[in-house]
Amino acid sequence: MERMYEGKTKLDKYDNSWYRPGSWLKRMLWHVASRLFINTYFPYPMSFKCIVLKAFGAKLGKGVVIKPKVNIKYPWYLTVENDTWIGEKVWIDNLAEVRIGQNVCLSQGAMLLTGNHNYRAPTFDLVLGPIILEDGVWIGAQAIVCPGVKCGSHAVLTVNSVATQPLEPYGIYQGNPAVFIKTRQINPA
């Protein structure tokens, strides 16, 4: 089977000047604060980390747990509700809005990616999509949630899986791309 290849990528023509996530000063101050207080192994109290994030515009509920070495691109695009856990080395690459509900668990090394590139465009244009994690969602260790994905209430994305499409409420998803495996059953307390 012979394939016809057309077009070429032209990264020298890439232009994301339309994207303005905040002033240069705001981004630089956040970069410094993040390295000093959030993306570090120094054991700052979680309440202090929350104060720093709120100072940069994050909307955080009560009881938010933020473990060491968390990387948050732009806290002013981040909303986290009550009693949510953000595990060690989680990367929230929020070029667009990320909304995280109550009682959500982001396990170690999980990634929330709101940006991608249009591989069909020769200029490799930046493409953005918000991420929504509803209440009770569990994103497993090293799992990735891609731009524009909504994870329904109490959905589970298992270890090393990649969510490229919406996850239905109470669904357990596995693989790359993640597919529905079974329904999550939570035993009554």
Instruction: From 49, 51, 97, select the one nearest 73 (Cα to Cα).
Output: 97
9-29: pLDDT as tens digits: 999 999 999 999 999 999 999
Residue-level pLDDT at 189:
82
> Mean pLDDT in the chain?
96
Residue in the block written with tokens 């509803």: 134
Residue type, 183: T
List the domains of the chain with CATH numbers: 24-183 (2.160.10.10)
| The model's pTM | 0.94
Give the angle 47-53-54 at the CA atoms, nearest 5°: 90
Backbone angles phi, psi at 24, to 5 degrees: -60, -45
106-151: pLDDT as tens digits: 999 999 999 999 999 999 999 999 999 999 999 999 999 999 999 9
Give the angle 14-93-79 at the CA atoms, nearest 5°: 130
pLDDT category at 175 given cuts 50, 70, 90 is: very high
Q: Is 95 exposed, middle or buried (0-12, 13-18, 19+ CB in 10 A)?
A: buried
